Amino acid sequence: MSEGSKGTPRKSPRPSPRAHHHNDDHDHHDERRPILTGHEHGHHEAFETTAQRQKDLAKLEEARHTVQDTCCGGLWQELRIIDEEIDTNRHMTWSELFYDLIFVTGVGKVGDGMKTGDLPIYVYCMYLLVIFGMWHSATTFGCRFHRGDLSNKIYFALHMLGMVFICMNIPSSYCFSKWVDCQKSAPNGKALAYSFAFVHIVEIIGFIRIGYQYYSKGSSPTEKATTFRMVRQCLRRCIEQLIPLVCWCLLASSVIDPHYAMWVFAVDLLTNGDNFIIWTLLQGINFPFERLCGCEIIPQDAFSNLALMPLHMDHYCERLGLVILIVLGETVDGIAVHGYVITASLYGTVIFAYLVVFSMKLLYFDTMIAEEETHCLFNEAHADIHTQDPNAPLNDDKERIRIERVLRPGLKSSLWIFFHQTLAVSLAMTGDALALVCEGAAEANRANHVRTFKTDVILTEGGPDMMAMALTGDGDSSGESSPNAREVLSWAVGLSFLMIGYVGFAHKQKSSLEENKERGLAATFFLLECLQVASIIFAAVISICMQYFSEDELSNVAMLTIQAFCGIFIAALSYVDECVENNARKDEFVHEIDEEEEKLIHTTTTDDDTAAEGTFTGEPVDELLVTDVKDALKGHSGPIVAELLKILERSENCLTAKTLAKVVSELPANQLTTPVDPSTEA
């Protein structure tokens, strides 16, 4: 899952989600660690408190002579770009995990609106994408600047508070086009708009602070960013946040008609630079011209000028992986329905719904794992740009050149980032659709018992009117019907298969690695990769096409069974290439061990003159040289020593443990019938 940048690829002793760096203090780690995410995924030993992070980062920066300005005893620190080459063993903090849980609460609220029919599918998707964008902005800010001081705690606390406001006001916030009075029909729409505006205000304040700091103090000599670029970046980010802020305020004040709220959502989504939507579109325009004629409509220098602040890629991959994991876990809440009796239909639906979710987990986290040297974000997303800067130290040519590290992803890596946003939406949609299917099975399970009970009571007490209400519902409805669960599920699962497949295959594949070409496995891996891609596409098409079958033709249990089987089959097929590679590595390790063992067991033969002098070029294992034993006995006297030397004269050049035992047993002293007193022997 990572991409490469047109600049210098980042290589570290070992990767990550899947990517990781480690330093000399962590040489005990495996040199081929998988990257978190998904895909991957990162490999971290523990969560950190923000206080621990602050102390650890201060020690690392002090060792590299990049101490930050602080006040109040370090409680308040200036925020500067964190160099991932310094912060190589970064852990996720509890505060970040707490924000993830607040975010998933918003996902659940949006899902509730979709299941009740309050949010149409396209509105549901827009809500989730914008809410994910809010979380993503906080995540990228943390990857770049999170130091664990009080200012960061305040920033993230306010950001979380804004997300809480959003969660509060999601219900009854969307106004359908057929509704005339949106204030009465969707009373929370105005409050939701103000909640989004509040989050943008928090982000603007954060970037104003950073921009002012760089403007007033400039970049330090060791930083990989010029003062001009950082100030320009902060100004750009403030404008990106200001545009949707104004739109949300206009929507809240009814200047923009609530019926056009989706346009404001679209503006928020497109103006968020870290979403890479417009960036991906521009790279997509270049792609066919680069492939067909080798020319560029938009030059790479333009992308370099628009490049964003660098990210701590190891930590970023881990953050994406964790939020995907939490979204998958949230789906369990929807499928854990209850019935009044144990039936094959109910439990079959729940079991196969769970297997669909489990297969998604296998595909994202446990297969198609990329290592740092193959991850697309590490190979393509960042670039090094040489820029003249008067604040930079003099180089060997007596020039003040700063090598800037910027985030300038190509089409492949920008799609990798963007697809994580849409993947989170499709997985959440999968969970909500599964919840509708499982709830339908639970309702059918309860129907015979609940309705029979109601019928008995109503016929004796309530009469025909109450009977009709009991059979049709309680009459409390918003007037909008729930979506077709089978249709939503078919699209969600199919699109999830495709996006997980892209996230996994965006990296350098095993068939293109030189080590596998040397092993003669490139063709094998290429065949496996073709089979995996074909199986993913086939499974996605099968899943999408199942919406066209009625429930009488294809039951819900059968549909879930097919989707679960497809997911697990793809995961199993994706394990095959790992098995092939592991066997190849095992054979190489065994061969190396055998060679080392032969070197240790067999002594190097020498010529007669060298042997006469008792000098050898190698040492045997579990053997003793006779000459060494003789030399060790020099300076010792006594009858036993003398007898031992006589026996050694008749022995071969080397003594094994068995031979030495035999030599000792043949000593005359051992032939005596009475024990020999050591004192008398002395």
pLDDT digits (tens, 9 = 90+) for 94-128: 888 999 999 999 999 999 999 999 999 999 999 99
For residue 180, what pLDDT is reported?
A: 86
CA 459 → CA 224, 443, 450, 472, distances in Å? 79, 22, 14, 16
- Contact 546/562 with Cβ under 8 angstroms? yes
State how far the Cα of 676 lies from the Cα of 640, in Å rounded to an integer: 11
- Contact 93/154 with Cβ under 8 angstroms? no
The residue ranges of DSSP E strands in 542-584, in sequence order, are none
- Contact 364/38 with Cβ under 8 angstroms? yes
DSSP 37-50: EETEE---S--B-H
Token pair for 452:
């029979």
Token pair for 21:
């760096």
In terms of Cα–Cα distance, which of 375, 316, 356 is closest to 12? 375
CA 601 → CA 108, 435, 589, 621, 628, distances in Å? 65, 65, 18, 5, 18
Long-range contacts at 665-670 (CB < 8 A, ≥ 24 apart): 667/640, 667/643, 668/639, 668/643, 669/639, 669/640, 669/643
Token pair for 446:
């309860």
State how far the Cα of 661 lies from the Cα of 665, in Å rounded to an integer: 6
Which residues, including other chains, have CB under 8 Å from residue 151's CB and lie 6 or more apart?
A: 76, 77, 79, 209
What are the two backbone dihedrals, phi and then psi, of residue 194, each rounded to the nearest 5 degrees? -65, -35
β partners of residue 505: none
State how far the Cα of 426 lies from the Cα of 389, in Å rounded to an integer: 45
Angle formed at CA 171 by CA 429 and CA 112, multiple of 5 degrees: 30
State how far the Cα of 54 lies from the Cα of 222, in Å rounded to an integer: 19
What are the two backbone dihedrals, phi and then psi, of residue 308, each rounded to the nearest 5 degrees? -90, 170
**One-letter amino acid for residue 365 of the chain:** F
What's 25's DSSP letter? G
- Which 3 state secondary structure label does DSSP give 257? coil
Predicted TM-score (pTM) above 0.95: no
In terms of Cα–Cα distance, which of 77, 71, 72 is closest to 54? 77
For residue 625, what pLDDT is reported?
A: 65
Which residues, including other chains, have CB under 8 Å from residue 120's CB and lie 6 or more apart?
A: 483
State how far the Cα of 418 lies from the Cα of 276, in Å rounded to an integer: 6
State how far the Cα of 418 lies from the Cα of 298, in Å rounded to an integer: 20
State how far the Cα of 242 lies from the Cα of 611, in Å rounded to an integer: 86
In terms of Cα–Cα distance, which of 372, 391, 389 is closest to 380? 372
For residue 657, what pLDDT is reported?
A: 66
The residue ranges of DSSP E strands in 107-244, in sequence order, are none
For residue 312, what pLDDT is reported?
A: 86
For residue 670, what pLDDT is reported?
A: 66
Angle formed at CA 110 by CA 105 and CA 116, multiple of 5 degrees: 125
- Contact 210/230 with Cβ under 8 angstroms? yes
> How crowded is residue 639: how many other Cβ atoms within 10 Å of its Cβ?
11
Which residues, including other chains, have CB under 8 Å from residue 343's CB and lie 6 or more apart?
A: 445
Which residues, including other chains, have CB under 8 Å from residue 542's CB and lie 6 or more apart?
A: 494, 562, 566
Q: What is the pLDDT of residues 617-646, one digit of tens each?
A: 444 444 556 677 777 777 677 777 777 777
- Which 3 state secondary structure label does DSSP give 360? helix
Residue whose entry in the numeric block shows the structure tokens 């054979």: 587
State how far the Cα of 424 lies from the Cα of 158, in Å rounded to an integer: 24
**How many residues are listed for the chain in this entry?**
682
- Contact 373/516 with Cβ under 8 angstroms? no
CA 22 → CA 33, 315, 401, distances in Å? 10, 12, 28
Pairing of strands 70-71, 76-77: antiparallel
Q: Is the dihedral of CA 126, 130, 135, 139 positive or negative?
A: positive
In terms of Cα–Cα distance, which of 19, 571, 104, 96 is closest to 328? 104
- Which 3 state secondary structure label does DSSP give 672? coil
For residue 449, what pLDDT is reported?
A: 58
What are the two backbone dihedrals, phi and then psi, of residue 656, each rounded to the nearest 5 degrees? -90, 175
Write out residues in the chain with pLDDT < 50, as ranges: 1-46, 453-454, 457-459, 463, 466-479, 603-622, 673, 676, 678, 680-682
Residue whose entry in the numeric block shows the structure tokens 């029909």: 185
Which residues, including other chains, have CB under 8 Å from residue 289's CB and lie 6 or more apart?
A: 295, 296, 297
In terms of Cα–Cα distance, which of 15, 39, 16 is closest to 367? 39
> How crowded is residue 329: how many other Cβ atoms within 10 Å of its Cβ?
13
State how far the Cα of 581 lies from the Cα of 14, in Å rounded to an integer: 18
State how far the Cα of 317 lies from the Cα of 41, in Å rounded to an integer: 6
Helix axes 121-145, 189-217, angle to 10 degrees: 20
- Contact 248/264 with Cβ under 8 angstroms? yes
Separate counts of helices (H) and strands (E) for the chain: 24, 10
Mean pLDDT of the chain: 79
Token pair for 653:
């050049």
